[in-house]
Structure 1
Amino acid sequence: MLRIYLLLICSFYALNAFAYDNIWLLIDTRALKIEVKKGEQTIDTIDGIAIGQSGAGQKTHRGDNITPYGEYRIGWVGQRSSFHKFFGLNYPSIQDADNGFRRGIIDQFTYGNIINAHRYNQVPPQNTALGGRIGIHGLGNASEKIHRTMNWTHGCIALTNNQIDHLSRWVDTGTLVKIK
């Protein structure tokens, strides 16, 4: 009996581990949708997302309300967020740091801290002049009507609470997120 129980437990964990294998997200800021990908195959699509009030592109500074283009990983998961759930991205990336340093937005010390965080698979500093706390989140108590009619975030990607709950079955810390 114990052997069957252990076999069932191992099968359960193997299935759940399989669900995350090669899973990544493609966020299309023009079509306002998220594609859940396994390799190059789209296995799920979430439409009707909202992005930053100033659209998407290269962030120039904290508070610019731009959703950053680039490749990121989910650095942390906040289950008790005022936005229902929050999947924090490891923004700023090395490329963001390079651009920010070249343009004089961040100093060498901040640049080094961002690079070292990525080198050791840690979340980079979230309080730099480039901004931080960029993620994928739900609405919390915010208006779904406003969400459906405009891009309203400060640079994050927003979904309804039901959509973020649905997305959470696919992603976890470390999941690749490409924003285009």
Structure 2
Amino acid sequence: MKSILFRSGLIAAAFFLLPAHRIANADGHVAHAPTFKTPKGFSLPSQPVRIMIDKSGYELQVYDAQGWYATYPVVFGNNSLADKCMEGDRCTPEGDFRIINKRVHNKWSRFLGIDYPTAQSIARFKELKRRGKVPANATPGAGVGIHGTWPNDEYMIDRYSNWTNGCIAMKNEDVQELYHYAVVGTPVQIRR
């Protein structure tokens, strides 16, 4: 195994790099597995924390006051990875959001809700509706968040199988770790 550096407080220490692999999902899209993650048992990130989600890389990256902290594999809704247009399109929204609530979830382990739709999301939705790109009776949708998987279904993350209704899904162990230190108000940037 290879090793790289990670940050634990103000000290740098080496940890193992997980082997990268390529996986094709159902529509033939080839994704690269994220190749690193902070090992368990090391210090928590120093606040403030921010989250960056890269849809094309299938990664959720966490940054704290010191810089990069961790990277987790994630999956989304629609395989197109397009920006959300309306409720029911199964697309994951793009833009700048914040975590607005957190709860233990009986189906998805943990749920960190984001403030979609924002004013920017609503403006985009209205413009799409004005141009006839979404039906006149469509709504922008809501209830988007970061959550885990059904019990014993974490293989969906390993296979990069997009299956949510527009949320960001993580392995249960990973979402429990994120839930522990991502507070309400944490910025979340989603991009493709």
TM superposition score normalised by structure 1: 0.70
Answering whether residue 123 of structure 2 is matched by residue 98 of structure 1, we say yes
Bigger relative contact order (CA 8 A; separation at least 6): 1
CA contact (8 A) 1:55 1:151 kept: no
Structure 1 residue 71 corresponds to structure 2 residue 82: no
Cα deviation for residue 19 of structure 1 reads 4.9
Q: By percentage of residues, which structure has more strand? A: 2
Instruction: For residue 31 of structure 1, report the CA deviation from its aligned partner.
Output: 1.0
Q: Deviations over 1:64-84 (max 9, x none)?
A: 011111000011112134211
Partners of 1:25 and 1:176 within 8 A in 2: yes
Higher helix share: 1
**Structure 1 residues 53 and 103, CA, compared in 2 at 3 Å: closer, same or farther?**
closer
How many matched pairs? 140
CA distance in 2, matches of 1:40, 1:92: 30
Partner amino acid, structure 2, of 1:154: N
Structure 2 match to 1:158: 169
Q: 2:57 aligns with which of 31, 37, 40?
A: 31
Structure 2: any 5+ residue segments left out of the alignment?
1-43, 131-137
Aligned to 1:82: 107
Contact 1:84–1:161 (8 Å) recurs in 2: yes
Give 2:185's aligned amino acid: G
Matched, 1:42 2:86: no
After the TM superposition, which residues 133-148 of structure 1 pair with which residues of structure 2 at under 5 Å, given as runs? 133-141=143-151, 143-148=153-158
Matched, 1:59 2:84: yes
1:151-178, Cα deviation, whole Å (9 max, x unpaired): 1111110001101011122202111000
RMSD: 2.1
Matched, 1:131 2:155: no
Deviations 1:122-168 (A, max 9, x none): xxxxxx81111110000132612233221111111000110101112
Q: Give the match for residue 188 of structure 2.
A: 177
SS of match in other structure, 1:97: helix
Q: Which aligned runs of 4 or more in structure 1 are off by greater than 4 angstroms?
A: none
Relative to 1, partners in 2 of residues 1:92 and 1:142: Cα closer, same or farther, differing over 3 Å? farther
Map Cα deviations across residues 9-30 of structure 1 (whole Å, 9 max, x no partner): xxxxxxxxx9562210000111
Unaligned runs of 5+ in 1: 1-17, 106-127
- SS at 1:104 equivalent: helix
